[in-house]
Amino acid sequence: MDIKAIITVDQDILGGQPVFKNTRVPVESLFDHLEAGVSLDEFLDDFPTVSKTQAVALLDLANQLLTSKNVEQLYAAIA
């Protein structure tokens, strides 16, 4: 899935923080919930405007980025 179909970055929405498309839910909130031990289903209950398809697609993209052979280039770009 194309990242633009999952995430929106718009200066007029939460000051440009990445959010799930067509919502005001920050992408960061998914990772915060998972880090705190909250299940994906509980996250979706807390944020009903985020679809399970969006959340799973985002996790899949994160997995692809972080397990890519080019992860060192990603690290260099953000370090």
Asked if the model's pLDDT at residue 77 lies above 90, the reply is no
What is the set of domains in the chain, with CATH numbers? 3-78 (1.10.10.10)
Residue of 62 and 29 predicted with greater confidence: 29
Are 25 and 13 spatial neighbours (Cβ–Cβ below 8 Å)? no
Q: Distance (Å, rounded) from C-alpha 52 to C-alpha 74? A: 27
In Å, how far are 8, 21, 22, 24, 53 from 4, measured between CA atoms?
A: 6, 8, 11, 15, 14
Asked if the model's pLDDT at residue 15 lies above 90, the reply is yes
pLDDT value at residue 79: 61
Model confidence over 38-65: pLDDT tens digits? 999 999 999 999 999 999 999 998 888 8
Q: What is the mean pLDDT of residues 7-22?
A: 96
Q: Which of 11-20, 37-46, 54-63, 67-76 has the lowest mean pLDDT?
A: 67-76
pLDDT value at residue 48: 97
